[in-house]
Structures are given as C-alpha cells and as structure tokens.
C-alpha cells in the first residue's frame, strides 16, 4: 500500500541540552532526531493518515537511530537509503531560557546531501496524493537542488498536490547568492505554499497579506497560507476563498521550534480529508498552538483525540 503523503528531506540526530543556558556550561544532552519533513510526516501519521519519507542516512548507529525513530511513528521509511560513504547529519539545540532557543547544525557533506534524482523511485512518488517539500532540501547540495526541481515538475505533470513550505534557513543559504530565486522557483511550481510572514518579506519585500497572496496566485499557486506567529494566519485561493484565522492563545510558549511543521501537518491532513482551506488552516493553527506548549520537535504533535479535545477547550475559552 502506497502512502497518501510523501515528503523528501534530511532528518538529523538532535542533541538537546538537558539544562538551560549557554552550551559552554552544559554537560548533558538528550539524544533525539528531527527534521522539518519527517516532522510533517509524523504529524500526518498521528492524525490517521499514511505518510512516506525519502532520505539518506549514514551506515552507522545514528543512521539506524533515525530510521527506527521515524519508522516507529508509523511512517514508511522503505525509501530511506543507507549511504556507506557519508555520515548522518547532526544538530545541537541550546535553550538559553524557556522559549528562547538557538540551533547549531553539523550537516555539511552529510549522507542526505548526497541524494540524487536518478535514485528516486518515481513509481512510489506517482501513487501519492500529496508531495510535501521544503526550502531546506535544495540547499543541502547541487544534486539535492536538482532533485527538488525534478520532483516538483513530476508532481505537476502527474496532478499530485505539491505542498511547499519555504522553511528558510539563512545559515544554509548564506553561500548562495541566488537563494531567493531558488525558493521562488520551487514555490511557483507548487499548488500550496505556506510561508511565514518574515519569510514572505524576505522573498518579496512586503508584509502585506494581499500582495503576498496575489503574487503567488498570479504565479500559478492555487492555495496559500501566510503564517504570522501568535497573531494568526491569512489564507487565500484561486477559488476566491480568503480570510484570516487568529492564532489560539496559549498560557506559555515552552518551545517554538516545530510549530510550523505542526501547522503543515494539520493543514495537509485537513486537505486530505476534503476540508475547505479555511477548515484546514484552522486545523493547522490548532496543532501549531499545541506544539509550542511542549518541549521538543515532535513531542507536541497530537493524535486525533488530543486534537479534538484541545480544540473543544479552545472554543470554550474563546466563548
């Protein structure tokens, strides 16, 4: 059985500081794994949908850990290749204080950066209802950039919904003078684009919701959701379905990392279920709010019952 949603990218081993403060003074770490694309796949799976993840990891214990962690969440990892010549990427998360994080990446030349379009199982991709990409993967290497373009074109040719989260990583893009053009080229091939307001400003030079939406819709995108943190999300589509969903207020933000991936998982799950864009954005916003109340990238991603309970409580609070 082929998964409904397939995503492609890099999942790294995460060493999360066991205490708050600068890493210079931290001596213990918790080992986890994380990556934007696999986070979305896990989020979709927890909501009752099937998801597949395509990547490469090293032929070492860290690579085994990444595969077993993602597979243990119910995600299909059958197309994750084990590369004998390159290592699994690493990153370290520093928490200076609750709600304030810094991330350090050690991923240059990683196994995932060796992915090539020639190695993809195109028949596997052809069966998907949704392919989800981010603006991270094309900056891992030249071959990854070519792969992402090829997958985007493939989705378009085969009428597969292509979802794109710019997920801009400025450190990763720093040596690419044409970084904006690369992100915009992929975005224009997508059916659904979900930038953060800061990302949209970086790409287009404006924070005006309508201007941003019209730029992408005129470029061929059919749906757009513009995330603005704890303020809300503006959405629009070629079906003239436009509006704004205020963010759900939470008592305190424990860890903001992963909120965007939770949003994407909720929105895409909603669309897989045939919900309207408004309903899907509401679902994504609810999950984004849930994620920031829990420490960790995927720990706050809810299962269906938890999502419904949280939403009911949120509605009660708003009343």
Of 130, 137, 111, 147, the C-alpha closest to 267 is 130
DSSP string, 44-87: HHHTT--EEEEEEEESSHHHHHHHHHHHTTT-B-TTEEEESSSP
Q: SS3 of 267, please?
A: helix
Q: What is the mean pLDDT of the chain?
A: 92
Among the listed residues 236, 255, 261, 297, the single catalytic one is 261
pLDDT for residue 283: 93
10-residue stretch averages of pLDDT, the chain, 319 residues long: 95 94 94 94 96 98 97 97 97 81 90 97 97 97 97 97 95 89 97 97 97 97 95 91 88 73 95 96 91 76 83 53
Domain 5-318, CATH class in plain words: alpha beta
**pTM, two decimal places:** 0.93
Domain positions in the chain:
5-318
Q: Residue 274: its pLDDT value, please?
A: 96
| Residue 261 annotated in active site | yes
pLDDT of residue 31: 95
pLDDT tens, position by position, 108-167:
999 999 999 999 999 999 999 999 999 999 999 999 999 999 999 999 999 999 999 999
């Amino acid at each position: 059985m082929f998964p409904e949603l397939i995503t492609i990218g890099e999942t790294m081993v995460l060493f999360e500081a066991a205490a708050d403060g600068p890493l210079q003074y931290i001596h213990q770490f918790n080992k986890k794994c994380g990556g934007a694309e696999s986070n979305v796949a896990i989020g979709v799976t927890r909501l009752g949908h099937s998801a597949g993840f395509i990547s490469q990891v090293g032929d070492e214990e860290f690579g085994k850990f990444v595969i077993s962690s993602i597979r243990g969440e119910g995600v299909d990892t059958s197309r994750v290749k084990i590369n004998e010549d390159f290592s699994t990427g690493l990153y370290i998360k520093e928490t200076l204080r609750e709600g304030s994080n810094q991330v350090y990446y050690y991923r240059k030349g990683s196994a995932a950066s060796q992915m090539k379009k020639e190695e993809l199982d195109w028949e596997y991709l052809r069966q998907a209802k949704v392919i989800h990409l981010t603006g991270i993967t094309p900056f891992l290497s030249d071959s990854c950039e070519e792969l992402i373009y090829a997958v985007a074109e493939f989705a378009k040719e085969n009428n597969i919904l292509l979802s794109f989260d710019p997920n801009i990583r400025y450190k990763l893009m720093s040596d690419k003078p044409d970084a904006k053009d690369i992100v915009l080229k992929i975005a224009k091939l997508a059916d659904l684009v979900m930038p953060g307001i800061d990302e949209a400003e970086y790409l287009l030079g404006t924070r005006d919701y309508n201007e941003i939406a019209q730029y992408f819709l005129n470029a061929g995108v059919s749906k757009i959701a513009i995330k603005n943190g704890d303020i809300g999300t503006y959405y629009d589509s070629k079906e003239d379905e436009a509006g704004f969903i205020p963010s759900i207020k939470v008592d305190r933000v424990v860890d903001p990392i992963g909120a965007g991936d939770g949003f994407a998982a909720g929105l895409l799950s909603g669309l897989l279920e045939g919900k309207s864009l408004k309903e899907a954005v509401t679902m994504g916003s609810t999950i984004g709010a849930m994620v920031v109340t829990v420490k960790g990238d995927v720990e706050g991603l809810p299962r269906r019952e938890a999502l419904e309970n949280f939403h009911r409580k949120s509605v009660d609070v708003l009343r």
